[in-house]
């Protein structure tokens, strides 16, 4: 064995990766080679030195922060559709399908059968629905429209051009564009008006329209009028997270305030704003809103982070004050 090979084997041996027979050979070489003995000493010294940079366990705060961020990101991902999962499974099992051509043929026949049956069912359903709809239109008169136009489907709306609330009333006028401009007038609790306001809060190119719509939706939420988790509340959370205009985000935050204690999704959105929002006003408002739930572990962790690392000294101070009022959880 030459010294070059011995040096490589010394490294392998030092890390427990040298097979026994090679170890024996190496020991024989080392017995008569002072250079290789020095090499081994140097390597062992390096191992000792490298120990001066110990591997540390990640802190609880880091783990909690990372989890929170990951949960948010996973929540935001759209769920995979059944056919995507099926496609992936078929791709995974492609090798076995190749090995079983009979199974593949059977699958094809079953697919064709299911397709024909499905087509037949759909055709029957359509006929039945058409008959039922015809009957309904004959029997029931259309409800009286409060509005100048009917309720538009969201897909028909090009954009929202303006929102005006009549003074001292529940009436709101929303102007929106379809192929031709339209106008809809109705009460704030009218589902059609609400639907338009929600569209306006997210899709409008105009910050003014978003501001008006989010302001009205937030006021409804603060008044406790029909602020369902899956409707207006979601729209406000989207505005808080993604709207480019700080005024709109601030209004959304105000609207979510009553739900921060009862709805964990709202709490997470507010925590996210506290950690990430670029506007110090919003971060400060988020701290105040979180006060009722300040003893919550995740809230405390975020407050700790903000108290230590927020670039704004006022926010750091406010966070510390809030934390100092909460007794430590043992």
Partner 1 sequence: MNGQKSAQERMQARAPEMELIREAQSGSRAAFDALVRQYEHQVLRLALHLTGSEHDAEDIYQEAFLKAYRYIGNFRFECSFYTWIYRIVTNLCLDQLRRRKTRREDHAVIVDRSGDEIDLLASVSDDRSFSNPAKELDRKLLGEKIQTALDKLTPRERMVFELKHYQGLRLRTIGEMLNTTEETAKNTLFRATKKLRAQLAELR
**Counting contacts by CB under 8 A, is residue 33 touching partner 1?**
no
* Residue among 79 and 224 whose Cβ is closer to partner 1: 79
Closest contact distance (angstroms) between CB of 88 and partner 1 is 4
Which residues, 6 or more positions from 241, have their beta carbon under 8 angstroms from its beta carbon? Answer: 269, 272, 273
> 264-276 and 280-290 are packed helices; what angle lies between their axes, rounded to 10 degrees?
140
Strands (E), the chain: 159-165, 171-177, 181-187
Compute the residue count for the chain.
Answer: 330
Closest contact distance (angstroms) between CB of 44 and partner 1 is 9
* Residue among 16 and 327 whose Cβ is closer to partner 1: 16
**Counting contacts by CB under 8 A, is residue 96 touching partner 1?**
no
The answer to whether the beta carbons of residues 186 and 147 sit under 8 Å apart is yes
Eight-state DSSP code of residue 230? T
**Counting contacts by CB under 8 A, is residue 225 touching partner 1?**
no
**Counting contacts by CB under 8 A, is residue 8 touching partner 1?**
yes
**Counting contacts by CB under 8 A, is residue 41 touching partner 1?**
yes
Nearest alpha-carbon partner for 170 in 226, 230, 233: 226
Nearest alpha-carbon partner for 201 in 210, 193, 192: 210
The answer to whether the beta carbons of residues 220 and 227 sit under 8 Å apart is yes
Site for partner 1 in 48-87 (CB under 8 A): 48-50, 52-58, 62-63, 65-67, 69-70, 73-74, 77, 79-80, 85
DSSP 137-184: HHHSPPPPPSSSS-PPPGGG--EEEEEEEPTTSSEEEEEEESSSEEEE
**Counting contacts by CB under 8 A, is residue 11 touching partner 1?**
yes
Among 24, 47, 129, 225, binds partner 1 (CB under 8 A): 47
Closest contact distance (angstroms) between CB of 284 and partner 1 is 23
Candidates 3-11, 125-133, 237-245, 281-289; binding stretch for partner 1 (CB under 8 A): 3-11
Closest contact distance (angstroms) between CB of 42 and partner 1 is 6
What is the spatial distance between Cα 90 and Cα 101, in angstroms, rounded to a whole number?
14
The answer to whether the beta carbons of residues 64 and 70 sit under 8 Å apart is no
The answer to whether the beta carbons of residues 188 and 220 sit under 8 Å apart is yes
Closest contact distance (angstroms) between CB of 47 and partner 1 is 7
What is the spatial distance between Cα 241 and Cα 239, in angstroms, rounded to a whole number?
5
Give all strands of the β-sheet with 159-165 in edge-to-edge order.
159-165, 171-177, 181-187
Candidates 88-96, 105-113, 212-220, 248-256; binding stretch for partner 1 (CB under 8 A): 88-96
Nearest alpha-carbon partner for 107 in 119, 124, 90, 127: 90
Closest contact distance (angstroms) between CB of 27 and partner 1 is 19
Candidates 7-15, 100-108, 229-237, 270-278; binding stretch for partner 1 (CB under 8 A): 7-15
* Residue among 90 and 100 whose Cβ is closer to partner 1: 90
**Counting contacts by CB under 8 A, is residue 88 touching partner 1?**
yes
**Counting contacts by CB under 8 A, is residue 34 touching partner 1?**
no
Closest contact distance (angstroms) between CB of 36 and partner 1 is 13
What is the spatial distance between Cα 295 and Cα 77, in angstroms, rounded to a whole number?
29
**Counting contacts by CB under 8 A, is residue 329 touching partner 1?**
no
Total residues contacting partner 1 by CB under 8 A comes to 39
Applying CB under 8 A, the residues found at the interface with partner 1 are 7-8, 11-12, 15, 17, 38, 41-43, 45-50, 52-58, 62-63, 65-67, 69-70, 73-74, 77, 79-80, 85, 88-89, 92
């Amino acid at each position: 064995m030459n010294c070059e090979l011995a040096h490589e084997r010394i490294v392998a041996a030092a890390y427990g990766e040298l097979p026994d027979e090679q170890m024996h050979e190496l020991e024989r070489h080392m017995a008569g080679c002072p250079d290789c003995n020095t090499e081994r000493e140097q390597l062992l010294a390096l191992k000792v030195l490298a120990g001066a940079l110990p591997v540390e366990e990640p802190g609880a705060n880091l783990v909690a922060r990372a989890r929170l961020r990951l949960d948010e990101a996973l929540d935001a991902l759209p769920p995979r559709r059944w056919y995507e999962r099926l496609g992936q499974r078929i791709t995974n099992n492609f090798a076995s399908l190749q090995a079983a051509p009979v199974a593949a043929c059977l699958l094809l026949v079953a697919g064709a059968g299911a397709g024909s049956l499905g087509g037949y069912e759909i055709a029957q359903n359509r006929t039945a629905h058409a008959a039922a709809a015809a009957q309904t239109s004959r029997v029931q008169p259309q409800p009286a429209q409060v509005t100048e136009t009917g309720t538009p489907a969201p897909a028909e709306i090009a954009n929202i051009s303006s929102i005006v609330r009549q003074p001292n009333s529940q009436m709101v006028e929303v102007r929106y564009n379809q192929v031709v401009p339209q106008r809809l007038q109705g009460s704030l609790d009218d589902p059609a008006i609400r639907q338009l306001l929600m569209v306006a809060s997210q899709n409008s190119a105009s910050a003014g329209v978003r501001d008006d719509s989010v302001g009205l939706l937030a006021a409804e939420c603060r008044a406790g009028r029909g602020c369902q988790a899956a409707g207006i509340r979601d729209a406000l959370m989207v505005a808080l997270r993604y709207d480019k205009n700080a005024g709109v985000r601030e209004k959304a935050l105000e609207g979510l305030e009553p739900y921060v204690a009862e709805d964990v999704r709202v709490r997470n959105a507010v925590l996210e704003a506290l950690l990430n929002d670029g506007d110090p006003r919003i971060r400060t408002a988020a701290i105040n809103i979180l006060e009722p739930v300040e003893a919550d572990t995740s809230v405390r962790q975020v407050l700790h982070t903000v108290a230590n690392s927020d670039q704004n000294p006022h926010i750091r101070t406010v966070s510390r004050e809030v934390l100092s009022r909460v007794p430590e959880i043992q």
